[in-house]
């Protein structure tokens, strides 16, 4: 029997478990660990609360979790409660599926001003991640500036723009729903260093901005390249640019009916955040493109801002003893192998890109690497104690391990506490989660 420990219960972790079950069957035992008492990573705490159908993918992971040779062990932080070296003593293979939970820094002066947040913090706040539940962003100002032109920026813009009624059926946590309900934000700027042809927004998510009850997107006609230039774009991007064109063509009469404006500002690189204690503006430099890269033109402007959310990417948390690629912000690896017996998948392997489904081939390919290493004898003889060894260590250290059955109880309590029309009210406190299983 071989023992595999998967660290992280997000999509990459569960696809790896699914792949290991399929490829290695009864010859393996798989333990999935998570620092949180609840599973599924960004499916729970990243994917937008008003996109419930996407969150439904966790049902598929549940099937894996409930199989006999797979076990969930929540509330265990590897690298803190148990070291990677200790895990290597217990398991034949360790797969790090720890994601990329830290915001990439903007690296501009003023980044530490009040009411400036990274998207991990802001998204964590409205999604009820215990680490960010107390963020308490000030929404009493008029203008929010969102830095970045990817789907996370779209999520943040949409959440800031929606009315209370538009959140019916979502699992946005009540503290965020109430705060957003009192928001005074009337202008949401979406700022990008490059132009409409370089956005990283997918058409479905971009299209939603055009269907909001009280907000309307604004794109300046003069920012759009000539229509013929769209012909060379790949189909998805072409669709997104076509949406930008339709936003530019929205008549002023329609615009006047809606109190919130979602303004796309292209070719603008943030250079400083301005303010005393709290942010008051974003100083930008206008750019032009050189070989697809944004290069400053020497023309500066300041956009007033009462709230800033930067959505410019994420970095993996380093873990003591694991080689780390500082430049890329993820574990140093070759196609998922860090060294025989230690692997990584998902965002921890390739950085924060792609959709949930992109993590699936990652999981399958890393299991192939494990199989190759087993067959090559690189994982040593069959002698590891796996689950039994871990349980002994957990008992010795008094770790409060949360099982999948416990999670189902927590889930049941969250469902019971739901507002009318909502699927659940999430616990935003780790202690409360742990108590709810009793």
* Residue 57: CB minimum distance to ligand FAD, A: 8
Q: Which of 71, 7, 161 is nearest to 407 (CA)?
A: 71
Q: At closest approach, how far in Å is the CB of 99 from ligand FAD?
A: 2
* CB closer to ligand FAD out of 132 and 247: 132
d(CA 153, CA 338): 32
Query: Tokens 């062990």, residue?
Result: 73
Asked whether the beta carbons of 18 and 100 are under 8 A apart, the reply is no
- DSSP 8-state class, residue 92: S
Q: How far is the CB of 46 from ligand FAD (least distance, A)?
A: 3
In the bound state with ligand FAD, the residue whose beta carbon lies nearer, of 19 and 374, is: 19
Q: Which is nearer to ligand FAD, 116 or 374 (CB)?
A: 116
> For residues 80 and 392, what is the distance between their CA atoms, to the nearest angstrom?
17
Taking the complex as a whole, the smallest distance from the CB of residue 338 to ligand FAD amounts, in Å, to 15
Considering the complex, state which of residue 318 and residue 389 has its C-beta at the smaller distance from ligand FAD.
318
| Cα gap 255→219, rounded to integer Å | 12
Least distance to ligand FAD, CB of residue 151, Å = 6
> Which residue, 15 or 247, is less far from ligand FAD as judged by CB?
15
Comparison of 41 and 281: residue with beta carbon closer to ligand FAD: 41
119 vs 287 by CB, closer to ligand FAD: 119
Element housing 31 (H / E): strand 28-34
Cα→Cα distances 322→35, 83, 150, 330, Å: 17, 10, 30, 10
Which of these, 102, 77, 84, 93, lies nearest to 8 by C-alpha position? 77
- Interface ranges with ligand FAD (CB under 6 A): 7-13, 33-36, 41-42, 46-47, 51, 54, 77-79, 97-99, 123, 152, 155, 317, 319, 346-348, 354-356, 359
CB of 142 to ligand FAD, least distance (A): 25
Q: Which of 384-389's residues contact partners 24+ apart within 8 Å by CB, and which partners?
A: 384/2, 384/3, 384/89, 384/90, 384/91, 384/92, 385/3, 385/90, 386/1, 386/3, 386/5, 386/29, 386/31, 386/90, 386/91, 386/92, 387/3, 387/29, 387/31, 387/71, 389/89, 389/90
Nearer Cβ to ligand FAD (284/436)? 436
The answer to whether the CB of 208 falls within 8 A of the CB of 196 is no
Q: How far is the CB of 176 from ligand FAD (least distance, A)?
A: 14
Nearest approach in angstroms of CB 40 to ligand FAD is: 7
């Amino acid at each position: 029997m071989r023992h595999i420990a998967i660290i992280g219960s997000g999509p990459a972790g569960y696809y790896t478990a699914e792949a290991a079950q399929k490829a290695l069957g009864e010859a393996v035992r798989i333990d999935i660990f998570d620092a949180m008492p609840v599973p599924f990573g960004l499916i729970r705490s990243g994917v937008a609360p008003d996109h419930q159908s996407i969150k439904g993918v966790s049902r598929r992971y549940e099937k894996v979790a409930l199989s006999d040779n797979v076990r969930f062990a929540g509330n265990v932080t590897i690298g803190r409660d148990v070291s990677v070296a200790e895990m290597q003593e217990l398991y034949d293979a360790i797969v790090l599926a720890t994601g990329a939970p830290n915001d990439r820094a903007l690296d501009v002066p003023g980044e530490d001003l009040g009411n400036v947040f990274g998207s991990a913090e802001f998204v964590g706040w409205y999604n009820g991640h215990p680490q960010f539940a107390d963020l308490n962003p000030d929404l009493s100002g008029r203008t929010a500036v969102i830095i970045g032109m990817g789907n996370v920026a779209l999520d943040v813009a949409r959440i800031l723009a929606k009315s209370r009624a538009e959140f019916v059926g979502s699992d946005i946590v009540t503290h965020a729903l109430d705060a957003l309900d009192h928001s005074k934000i009337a202008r949401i700027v979406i700022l990008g260093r490059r132009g409409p042809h370089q956005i990283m927004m997918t058409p479905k998510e971009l299209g939603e901005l055009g269907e909001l009850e009280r907000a309307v997107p604004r794109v300046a006609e003069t920012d759009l390249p000539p229509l013929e230039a769209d012909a060379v774009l790949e189909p998805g991007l072409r669709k997104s640019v076509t949406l930008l064109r339709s936003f530019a063509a929205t008549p002023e009469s329609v615009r006047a009916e809606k109190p919130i404006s979602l303004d796309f500002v292209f070719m603008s690189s943030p250079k400083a955040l301005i303010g005393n204690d709290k942010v008051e503006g974003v100083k930008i430099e206008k750019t032009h493109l050189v070989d697809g890269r944004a290069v400053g033109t020497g023309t500066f402007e300041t956009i007033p801002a009462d709230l800033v959310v930067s959505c410019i990417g994420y970095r993996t948390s380093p873990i003591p003893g694991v080689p780390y690629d500082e430049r890329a912000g993820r574990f140093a690896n070759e196609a998922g192998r860090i060294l025989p017996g230690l692997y990584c998948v998902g965002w921890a392997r390739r950085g924060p890109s792609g959709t949930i489904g992109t993590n699936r081939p990652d999981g399958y390919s890393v299991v192939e690497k494990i199989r190759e290493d087993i067959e090559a004898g690189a994982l040593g003889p069959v002698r590891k104690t796996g689950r039994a060894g871990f349980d002994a260590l957990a008992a010795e250290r008094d770790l409060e391990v949360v099982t999948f059955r416990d999670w189902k109880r927590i889930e049941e309590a969250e469902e019971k506490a739901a507002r009318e029309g909502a699927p659940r009210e999430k616990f935003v406190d780790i202690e409360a989660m742990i108590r709810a299983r009793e």
